[in-house]
A and B are shown apart, each in its own frame.
Chain A
Amino acid sequence: MATRVIAGKTVQVNDEGFLTNPAEWTKEIAVELAKEEGLAELTPAHWKVIDYCRDAAQKMGGKSPTLRQITTGTGVSTKELFALFPKGPAKKVARIAGLGKPEGCV
């Protein structure tokens, strides 16, 4: 298991750069990972999605929610979600939120 330093904190990551221990995640880490994903700034709308994912993952035994669960759960529309996290929201949101890739298909 590889480790790397993000926002001054040493965390465990997998080959694709996803945090493997959600408990090591901090908001500062999210900001750094977002930059790596091409998002210069995280707005309150981004945080609404990230916070929902963190919350949902905790309730679902660490599993990242699917895009449809995110839109249904937050009220953020599909269009809006793809605008907030362009080019691959499923992976981007999960990575920024310090979770694994979603396991569901929808």
Chain B
Amino acid sequence: MAEETRKIAFICSKGDLDMAYPALVMGWAALGNGIDVTIFFTFWGLDIINKHRQDKLELAPVANTSMKLKMMGLPTGNLGIPNILGILPGMTAFTTWFMKKKIAEVGAPPVGEYLQMLVDGGAKLYACKMSVDMMGLKKEDFVDGVLDIVTASDFMDMTEGAQIIFI
């Protein structure tokens, strides 16, 4: 009679500010709906759980074809931030500041706080062993919610029957 709990697993492989949010938003929604959540952080995605990095994630304007000047309230149609301007010192800081402002406007918390909400809601976080070794990181570099450093094979075992989303 007991219904099997739906399971969902996210693989976070990117460390840009805008790539941290999809798993946070969807993971939080999943927890709110009673779905079991596991998140595996690999490659640059480790920045999301690295306590020295997680609240310093950035968004670069160079080669970003989606970030239009229009977002900043300018009547410039499809014009993006010209790449030649994007290389100027301070431009990454500017676009990061702007994106953080947009995120805050919809009521979403900063990365660290958001991730803690997921941990408090029961999400299980794991770091990828190969990436951790490659980048010379240790368990102490990660936030408290990270349960363990595991191999890709461990991840496959622990996500049997789960829906997997790669970000």
Q: Which residues of A contact B (CB under 8 A)?
A: 66-69, 77-79, 82, 87-92, 102, 104-106
CA gap between A69 and B34 in the complex, in Å: 18
Q: Chain A residues near B31: list those with CB within 8 A.
A: 82, 88
Q: Which of B29, B35, B117 contacts A78 (CB 8 A)?
A: B117
Are B121 and A106 in contact (CB-based, < 8 A)?
Answer: no
CA gap between A67 and B25 in the complex, in Å: 12
Q: Chain B residues near A82: list those with CB within 8 A.
A: 31, 120-122
CA gap between A48 and B68 in the complex, in Å: 44
Asked whether any CB of chain A lies closer than 8 Å to the CB of B136, the reply is no
Are B108 and A106 in contact (CB-based, < 8 A)?
Answer: yes
Q: Which of B5, B33, B106, B116 contacts A90 (CB 8 A)?
A: B33
Name B's interface SS. Answer: loop
Interface string of B1-42 (1 = CB under 8 A from A): 000010000000000000000000100110111110000000
Q: Chain B residues near A89: list those with CB within 8 A.
A: 32
What residue in chain B is nearest A37 (Cβ atoms)? B34
What residue in chain B is nearest A88 (Cβ atoms)? B34
Asked whether any CB of chain A lies closer than 8 Å to the CB of B161, the reply is no
Q: Chain B residues near A69: list those with CB within 8 A.
A: 107
Asked whether any CB of chain A lies closer than 8 Å to the CB of B82, the reply is no
What is the number of residues of chain B that contact chain A, defined by CB distance less than 8 Å?
A: 18
Tally A-B pairs: CB < 8 A. 47
Q: Which residues of B contact A (CB under 8 A)?
A: 5, 25, 28-29, 31-35, 106-109, 116-117, 120-122
Contact A67 to B120, CB < 8 A, known contacts A106-B106, A106-B108, A106-B109: no
Q: Chain A residues near B121: list those with CB within 8 A.
A: 67, 78-79, 82
Name A's interface SS. Answer: helix
Are B32 and A88 in contact (CB-based, < 8 A)?
Answer: yes
Q: List 5 A-B contacts (CB under 8 A).
A: A67-B32, A87-B34, A91-B33, A92-B34, A106-B109
Are B120 and A104 in contact (CB-based, < 8 A)?
Answer: no
| Minimum distance in angstroms from A77 CB to a CB of chain B | 7
Q: Chain B residues near A106: list those with CB within 8 A.
A: 25, 28, 106-109
CA gap between A68 and B106 in the complex, in Å: 12
Q: Which of A68, A79, A87 contacts B5 (CB 8 A)?
A: A87
Q: Chain A residues near B109: list those with CB within 8 A.
A: 68, 106
Q: Chain A residues near B28: list those with CB within 8 A.
A: 67, 105-106
CA gap between A105 and B114 in the complex, in Å: 12
